[in-house]
C-alpha cells in the first residue's frame, strides 16, 4: 500500500517534469528531460556512486557525532542549573550565526577533505538535537520526581532510570530534524570547497554545462535524504514505543 | 519486627503570606490515620512537607518521629497516580527504588510481593497492558518493596471504580498491618472503613473525629461504618458550605 503510494507520487512527478519540458520547450542544457537525466545517471553511475559514498559517510558521521554531542550537552544542561544558566544563552546566541556563513572558515580550518563537511553537519544538527532532548529531559512528570525523592534517589540514577527513558521520544523528534539537516550541512560544505561528494559533483557538472548530470546528482542526493529520513523515522518510532511501553 | 514509630506535627504553613493550615497532629505508630478535609485545605501539603518535597510555601513549626529518630528514609509514598514507569516491566517497576539508590535489587523479594498483591502472573508485562486496579496493586507492591515503617498514601484508590477500590482497601489493610499509615482521602466511606484514627482538617485547626468502636478493617455495610460515614459527610458538607 505504502509502496504503491510512493510509486504513484514518483510517476506523477516524472509526468509533470516531462510535461514541463514539452510545454516550455527549454533546451536540454537548461531543463533536461527525465529520460536524458536517467541516461546521464547510467553513464556516470560509477562517478555518482563514488561521490554518493563520500557524502553518505559525511552525513552519517556528522549525524552520529552531532547526536552524541547533543545528547551529552542536553544531559549536562538538565543535570545542573548552573550549567544551564551559563550555557543556554551561549547556545541560543550561536544559533544566531548562520552555519552556512561558517563554511569557508571550516574549510580553512579542517581542510578540503571530509573533516570540514562532517564538522558542518555536526554543527547544523547539534542545536536541534540538544534543544529537543533537553526539552524532553526537563519536561519530567513531577510525580516521578516526588517518588524518586521519597525513595532517596541520587541525581544521576534519576537521570539514568527515569529522565532519559522518558525523554527518548523527544530525542526522536530531534533526530528526525537532524536527518533532514545533516545532508544540507554536508552539501554546503562540499560547495564551498571539496574534491569529492555529491555537492562537489553538482558544481563540477554545472561548470561543464552537464546539467543532466547535475540533475542526476540532485536526485541521488534527494534519495539519500529520503532514505535517511525513513531510517531515522523508524528509529524514532521505536524510541516512542519503548518509552510508552508498547510492545509489538 | 520493630514497632513502627508515630509522627507528631505542630505548626503553621503559609503560602504567600496566607495561612494554609494551622495543625497539631499526632499520628499514632502502627495504625491507620485518615486525613480528611475539603480540597485545597493542605492535606497533601502535610504529606509533602514531612516527605521533604516541594510545597510552595513556608512552614513554621516542627515535626518528628515519636521514637526520636530521624524521619528521612523511613517513609514510603504512594500517590493517586500509580507512577509506574511505562518502559519497565512490572517486576522492574517494583524494584525501581533500589535502582534509584544505586543498589542491586532483590528480585526474589519483589516476586514475593507481587505474589502477595495477586500479580504473580504479570511480572514481565508492561504497565500499559494492566487494568487500573492492577496498576495500583503494582504500585502498592513497589511501596512495600521499600520496606519502610511509615507509609504516606495520597488518595491512592480514588481513581479506581467502586468495586476495585473496596478490594484495594482490603488488600492494603492486610499487607500494611502494624505499619504507621497516613492516608489522605476525600472519601468518608474509606475513612470509616480503614481508620484507627480520623483527623478532619480545616484551615483553622485539625480535629480528631470519633471512629467506630469496631476494629478496622470494617465491613462496608456495618451500621457503625455507615453511621460514621454519614456523619463525616454531613460535617464535610457543612464546612465546605
Is there a contact between B85 and A246 if contact means CB atoms under 8 Å apart?
no
Q: Same domain, yes or no, for A39 and A97?
A: yes
Residues A22 and A39 in one domain: no
Q: What is the pLDDT of residues B24-36, one digit of tens each?
A: 999 999 999 999 9
Which residues in A lie closer than 8 A to residue B128 (C-beta atoms)? 244-246
pLDDT value of residue A1: 55
Instruction: Closest CB to B87: pick one of A143, A148, A242.
Output: A242
Q: Tell me: do A20 and A131 sit in the same domain.
A: no
Q: State chain A's mean pLDDT as an integer.
A: 92
Looking at the fold, whether A50 and A101 belong to one and the same domain comes out as yes
DSSP sequence for B69-127: S--TTSEEEE-SS----TTS-HHHHHTHHHHHTTPPP-HHHHHHHHHHTT-GGGTTS-G
CB within 8 Å: B128 and A246: yes
Q: Is A248 on the interface with B (CB under 8 A)?
A: no
| B75 at A interface, C-beta within 8 A | yes
Walk across the sheet containing B32-37 and list its strands.
B75-78, B150-154, B180-184, B32-37, B197-201, B206-209
Residue B240 has a pLDDT of 63
Domain CATH for A112? 1.10.3720.10
Running DSSP on this structure, what letter comes out for residue B5?
P
Q: Which of A143, A150, A158 sits opposite B81 (nearest CB)?
A: A143
Residues A100 and A124 in one domain: yes
Q: Are residues A110 and A1 in the same domain?
A: no
pLDDT at B225 over 60: yes
Using the predicted structure, report yes or no on whether residue A175 has a pLDDT greater than 90: yes
**Range of weakest confidence among A94-98, A157-161, A179-183, B78-82:** A94-98
Model pLDDT, residue B1: 47
Per the structure, the complete domain to which residue A171 belongs is given by 35-244
Q: Do A172 and A218 belong together in one domain?
A: yes
What's the whole-number mean pLDDT along residues A4-21?
A: 91
pLDDT one-digit tens code per residue, B44-95: 999 999 999 999 899 999 999 999 999 989 999 999 899 999 999 999 999 9
Q: Does A226 touch chain B (CB under 8 A)?
A: no
Residues A84 and A6 in one domain: no
Q: Please state at what angle helix A34-43 crosses helix A211-244, rounded to 10 degrees.
A: 90
Tally of residues, chain B = 241
- What average pLDDT score do residues A111-129 get? 92
pLDDT the model gives residue B107: 96
Which residues of chain A neighbour B73 with C-beta distances below 8 Å? 152
Whether residue A68 has pLDDT greater than 90: yes
Q: State the average pLDDT for chain B.
A: 92
Alpha carbons A124 and A99: distance in angstroms, whole number:
6
A4 and A101 together in one domain: no
Looking at the structure, tell me whether residues A25 and A137 fall in a common domain.
no
Q: Identify from A150, A164, A238, A241 which residue to disrupt to test chain B contact, counting B C-beta atoms within 10 A and taking the largest count.
A: A150
Tally of domains within chain A: 2
Average pLDDT over residues B199-219: 89
A99 in the same domain as A1? no
Name which of A66, A53, A77, A57 is nearest A99 in CA terms.
A66
**Chain A residues in contact with B146 (beta carbon < 8 A):** 151
Please name the residue of chain B whose CA is at the shortest distance from the CA of residue A162. Answer: B85
Q: In terms of domains, do A99 and A207 share one? A: yes
Amino acid at each position: 500500500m505504502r509502496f504503491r503510494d510512493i510509486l504513484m507520487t514518483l510517476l506523477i512527478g516524472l509526468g509533470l517534469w516531462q510535461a514541463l519540458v514539452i510545454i516550455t520547450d527549454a533546451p536540454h542544457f537548461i531543463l533536461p528531460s527525465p529520460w536524458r537525466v536517467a541516461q546521464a545517471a547510467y553513464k556516470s553511475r560509477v562517478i555518482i556512486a563514488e561521490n554518493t559514498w563520500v557524502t553518505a559517510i559525511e552525513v552519517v558521521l556528522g549525524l552520529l557525532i552531532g547526536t552524541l554531542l547533543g545528547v551529552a550537552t542536553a544531559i549536562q544542561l538538565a543535570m545542573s542549573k548552573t550549567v544551564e544558566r551559563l550555557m543556554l544563552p551561549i547556545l541560543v546566541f550561536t544559533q544566531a550565526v548562520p552555519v552556512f556563513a561558517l563554511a569557508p572558515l571550516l574549510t580553512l580550518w579542517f581542510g578540503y577533505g571530509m573533516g570540514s563537511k562532517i564538522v558542518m553537519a555536526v554543527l547544523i544538527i547539534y542545536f536541534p538535537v540538544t534543544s529537543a532532548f533537553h526539552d524532553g529531559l526537563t519536561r519530567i512528570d513531577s510525580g516521578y520526581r516526588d517518588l524518586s525523592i521519597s525513595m532517596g534517589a541520587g541525581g544521576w540514577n534519576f537521570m539514568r532510570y527515569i529522565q532519559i527513558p522518558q525523554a527518548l521520544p523527544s530525542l526522536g523528534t530531534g533526530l528526525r530534524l537532524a536527518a533532514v539537516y545533516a545532508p544540507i550541512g554536508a552539501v554546503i560544505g562540499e560547495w564551498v570547497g571539496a574534491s569529492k561528494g555529491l555537492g562537489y559533483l553538482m558544481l563540477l557538472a554545472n561548470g561543464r554545462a552537464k546539467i543532466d548530470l547535475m540533475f542526476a546528482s540532485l536526485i541521488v542526493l534527494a534519495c539519500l535524504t529520503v532514505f535517511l529520513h525513513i531510517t531515522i523515522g523508524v528509529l524514532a518510532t521505536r524510541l516512542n514505543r519503548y518509552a510508552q511501553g508498547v510492545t509489538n | 519486627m520493630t514497632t513502627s514509630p508515630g509522627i507528631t506535627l505542630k505548626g503553621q504553613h503559609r503560602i504567600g503570606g496566607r495561612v494554609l493550615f494551622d495543625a497539631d497532629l499526632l499520628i499514632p505508630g502502627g495504625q491507620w490515620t485518615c486525613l480528611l478535609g475539603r480540597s485545597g485545605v493542605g492535606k497533601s501539603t502535610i504529606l509533602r512537607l514531612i516527605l521533604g518535597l516541594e510545597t510552595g510555601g513556608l512552614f513554621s513549626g516542627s515535626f518528628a518521629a515519636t521514637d526520636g529518630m530521624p524521619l528521612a528514609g523511613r517513609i514510603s509514598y504512594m500517590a493517586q497516580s500509580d507512577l509506574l514507569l511505562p518502559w519497565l516491566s512490572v517486576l522492574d517497576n517494583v524494584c525501581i527504588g533500589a535502582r534509584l539508590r544505586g543498589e542491586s535489587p532483590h528480585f526474589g523479594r519483589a516476586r514475593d510481593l507481587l505474589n502477595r498483591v495477586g500479580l504473580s502472573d504479570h511480572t514481565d508485562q508492561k504497565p500499559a497492558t494492566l487494568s487500573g486496579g492492577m496498576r495500583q496493586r503494582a504500585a502498592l507492591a513497589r511501596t512495600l518493596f521499600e520496606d519502610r515503617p511509615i507509609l504516606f498514601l495520597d488518595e491512592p484508590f480514588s481513581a479506581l471504580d467502586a468495586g476495585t477500590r473496596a478490594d484495594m482497601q482490603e488488600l492494603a489493610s492486610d499487607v500494611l498491618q502494624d505499619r504507621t499509615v497516613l492516608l489522605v482521602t476525600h472519601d468518608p466511606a474509606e475513612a470509616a472503613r480503614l481508620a484507627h484514627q480520623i483527623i478532619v482538617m480545616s484551615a483553622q485547626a485539625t480535629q480528631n473525629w470519633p471512629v467506630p468502636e469496631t476494629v478496622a478493617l470494617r465491613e462496608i455495610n456495618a451500621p457503625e461504618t455507615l453511621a460514621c460515614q454519614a456523619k463525616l459527610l454531613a460535617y464535610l458538607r457543612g464546612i465546605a458550605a
